[in-house]
Amino acid sequence: MPGAALEHAEPLNSPTSGSGSFSAAGVRPRSRHHVISPRRVPKRAVSLDLENPRTQSAAAAAAAPAAVAATNAWHHIHRLGNWQRSCGGRCARPRRTFVLLLLACVLLFAATGAIGEVRAAGKKLVRHLYYGYDPMLLGRNSRRFPSPSCCAGGACAAPRTGRTAVLTLVRSDNHLPLLQQLECTLRRSNPGVEFGVLMVPGELGAEALAWMERKNLTRLEVPPLYYPNAFNPSYGDSWAKLRLFALTQYDAVVFVDSGAVVAGDLSPLFSLPTEFAASWDQSTMFGRGPRLQGLNSGLLLVRPCAAMLEHMLQLLRAHAKLRFTYAAAEQEFLNWYFRFTGMMLPVEYNTMTPESLRGNLTLGGRHPVVVRFGEGGAVPGTSAHQYLCTQRELG
């Protein structure tokens, strides 16, 4: 019969081409894990004469993909069955081992205090996801948010009132020991400079006010400015730093955080040809760093401009996201506002310890001008304690 040749047509992988057993479809795999690739079928027209040997070969080639698929499926099922039979109850062991290792890592982080760094890393991730992909927050665009300016370039360094000062902000009596260290180190390194304290009326007690009077400090009372912060409630009080821009009785002011000490000369900052300057933020993660990214508001050079402050307050009232509730509050706002117009200072003007200080030098090999301590402030026995005043010097 004409179809007899097709029924007995020899498959492409015929028994005559090698030895060994074959599947029911007549295709022999080379090994247990071998996946056979079907031979491509020519796309040209094929004669319908079933007695023609070329037609028989084409028909066998057309049947090959189905045979290959069946063989591969059978082998996968066979291997799955063998794995299930041989595994028994031991398959859950790797999973239990992974869980135990993960628990051990968590306990190790907690025991070594690294859990705080994990929390800080989580905050940075939230900040990046919430703020990092908003085009408006990449920096203040002067076309969308034009800012008034009271000076530009070299004109900023020209004297107007002839008065400059170093200022800090104190919002609680608990910061009095930090203020005492800052005042002592400033007098020692910058004698004759005017030193003042920004304060909100009614927040400081009689003891702190009496000490300022004895030390002849300038007391600058400013209206409160507060926005709540979800990451650190104390960040909300730091918005009062913006009141520096309202102190137009000064040509320029250098703001130094109360948790810092001054070890060098600050006078070169007053002659910089800019209306705003700050040093780099120096952050670390899991002991690596520091990573210089954005500004840190621990030291600021500000040329007061009342119109600029009013513009800032209008932006904060109109755009809640600029309050950076899930980030570092006023520091992030100043970084956004002066992204394209401010000046970045070298690390020695705001040397964060222990991140950027090695012995008596910064990582850049320079002597620090301002040394910034962590949350605990300037504490004897910690890194950079050599820059602190002694109890006799504090008087």
Whether 85 is in a domain gets the answer: no
Angstrom distance (rounded) from CA 166 to CA 190: 10
Angstrom distance (rounded) from CA 191 to CA 188: 6
Q: Each residue of 360-388: pLDDT tens digit? A: 888 889 999 999 987 655 556 667 788 99
Whether 95 is in a domain gets the answer: no
Residues in the chain where the model's pLDDT stays below 70: 1-95, 105-129, 284-287, 289, 375-382
Same domain, 322 and 244: yes
Same domain, 177 and 308: yes
Same domain, 164 and 217: yes
Burial class of 371 by CB neighbour count within 10 A (0 to 12, 13 to 18, 19+): buried
Same domain, 209 and 282: yes
The pLDDT score that the predictor gives to residue 135 is 81
Residue type, 19: S
Q: Each residue of 63-107: pLDDT tens digit? A: 455 555 555 555 544 554 554 455 555 555 566 777 777 777 666
Helix (H) or strand (E) holding 371: strand 370-372
Same domain, 11 and 141: no
Range of the domain at 39: 4-80
Q: Give the largest CA-CA distance in the chain.
A: 123
Same domain, 136 and 243: yes
Whether 90 is in a domain gets the answer: no
Helix (H, G, I), strand (E, B) or coil at 121: helix
Choose the final residue of a domain: 80, 100, 134.
Answer: 80
Same domain, 73 and 160: no
Same domain, 340 and 207: yes
Stated pTM of the model: 0.69
Whether 98 is in a domain gets the answer: no
Tokens of 243: 């009141």
Q: How many domains does the chain have?
A: 2
Same domain, 120 and 76: no
Tokens of 176: 């009095």
Same domain, 290 and 164: yes
DSSP E strand stretches across 145-230: 164-169, 195-199, 218-221
Whether 92 is in a domain gets the answer: no
The pLDDT score that the predictor gives to residue 93 is 58
Same domain, 164 and 59: no
Whether 282 is in a domain gets the answer: yes
259: Cβ contacts below 8 Å, ≥ 6 apart: 178, 298, 372, 373, 374, 375, 377, 378
DSSP E strand stretches across 158-317: 164-169, 195-199, 218-221, 252-256, 260-262, 276-285, 288-302
The pLDDT score that the predictor gives to residue 241 is 97
For residue 65, say if its preceding peptide bond is cis, omega within 30 degrees of 0: no
Same domain, 56 and 123: no
The pLDDT score that the predictor gives to residue 229 is 93
Angstrom distance (rounded) from CA 331 to CA 242: 10
The pLDDT score that the predictor gives to residue 64 is 53
Angstrom distance (rounded) from CA 89 to CA 93: 8
Helix (H, G, I), strand (E, B) or coil at 271: helix
Whether 201 is in a domain gets the answer: yes
353: Cβ contacts below 8 Å, ≥ 6 apart: 371, 372, 373, 374, 382, 383, 384
Whether 286 is in a domain gets the answer: yes
